[in-house]
Structure 1
Amino acid sequence: MNRKAILFHGTAAHPDVVWLPWLRKRLAERGYAVEAPHYPALNLESITTFLPKVLANHTFDANTVLVGHSGGAALLLALLEHIDTGVDQAILVAGYCTQPNAENEPVLQDAYDWAAIRANVRDLYFINSREDPYGCDDKQGRAMFERLGGTQIVRDGGHFGDIDQPYESFELLARLID
């Protein structure tokens, strides 16, 4: 079975920050083909024009695992709604589905087809912190969990990596991925 993982960085970030390089290496060692694209326009460009570009750059199937951090996790909601096949797992780290703070959030859709999202993923995890400095907190995780089911994990982990929060590894993530 050819397992694939696609890792999406957060807003104003890139694939070589926080725990993303560590997770890429761990998954590759376990036999995963790992994609970690760089999307500088993430959460700057409207999701209506940005999403088709992301969809065109990747293929998805029942052996695909999606991991997103912050804005990349919010992107996963739109991806899961609009893909044409189901994926194995999606893990949203510091994700959100509504405006988390006063900043503009063009990665968010105006509304979501929650049933379509749920139908397109076998297993969902939401990892949020009670004290996320950007509002991507446990309440955001709860809002997604209540609409989609899956598993909500609440940690006291800030934003799980940021400019002022080094987060070199994330053992929990590696353990959650089948």
Structure 2
Amino acid sequence: MARKAIIFHGTGASPDILWFPWLDKQLTARGYQVERPHYPDLNVEPVRTFLPKVLDAHSFDAETVLVGHSGGAALLLALLEHLSAPVAQAILVAGYWTEPNDSAEPVLQPGYDWGKIAGNGGDLTFINSVVDPYGCDAAQGRYLFDRLGGTQILRNEGHFGDWNQPYDTFPLVDRLIP
């Protein structure tokens, strides 16, 4: 099996912004097959109809690393719950499990099977900021950590990239992936 990484962008974003292309280059240089899918309907289409499309578009195995940012991290929760086999690692950057602000969040499920997510998530890491302008903050990360275990990393770096926050590299995420 070849090592593979799939990087999921957030709501209203694309795979060609922020630190996603940089991380792709870093991991490719280390021998990973990297996928950066573009999902414009992420957090627009309800997760119950959106998730099957994501599951069908990718393969997941014990050599797969998943990285999700914001809405992409929220998507990872549903994805991990519905996998038929565990992945090696999942890194949720600015992740959340409940509506973090007053915006609609169709990417969220009404509830989660935390045991199944933990069982399929491999080495789970949650990276959140103390203060996040969208509410994907330390409290959201702590809730996930308390239910799933793994590692919680708190920074003071906003949303780890956005339209008004240049964030072209993310060495921490690179270092977390063996």
Q: TM (normalized to structure 2)?
A: 0.99
| Residues 131-142 of structure 1 aligned to structure 2 (within 5 Å) | 131-142=131-142
- TM-aligned CA deviation for residue 78 of structure 1: 0.2
- Tell me the equivalent position of 1:22: 22
| Residues 135-150 of structure 1 aligned to structure 2 (within 5 Å) | 135-150=135-150
- TM-aligned CA deviation for residue 121 of structure 1: 2.0
Across the aligned residues of Structure 1 and Structure 2, the Cα RMSD in angstroms comes to 0.5
Q: After superposition, what is the alpha-carbon deviation per residue over 1:107-158, rounded to whole angstroms, capped at 9, x for unaligned?
A: 0000000000011122000000011000000000000000000000000010
Q: Distance in 2 between matches of 1:101 and 1:167?
A: 22
Q: Distance in 1 between matches of 2:58 and 2:94?
A: 23
Matched positions, count: 178
Q: TM (normalized to structure 1)?
A: 0.99
- Tell me the equivalent position of 2:34: 34
1:13 partner letter: A
Q: Distance in 1 between matches of 2:135 and 2:122?
A: 27
Q: After superposition, what is the alpha-carbon deviation per residue over 1:3-41, rounded to whole angstroms, capped at 9, x for unaligned?
A: 000000000000011000000000000000000000000
- Tell me the equivalent position of 1:45: 45
Q: Which runs of 4+ in 1 moved over 3 A?
A: none
1:112 partner letter: Y
- TM-aligned CA deviation for residue 95 of structure 1: 0.4
Give the gaps of 5 or more residues in structure 2.
none
Q: Distance in 2 between matches of 1:137 and 1:121?
A: 21
Q: Secondary structure at the match of 2:122?
A: strand
The answer to whether the aligner puts 1:63 opposite 2:63 as a matched pair is: yes
1:139 partner letter: A
Q: Secondary structure at the match of 1:14?
A: coil
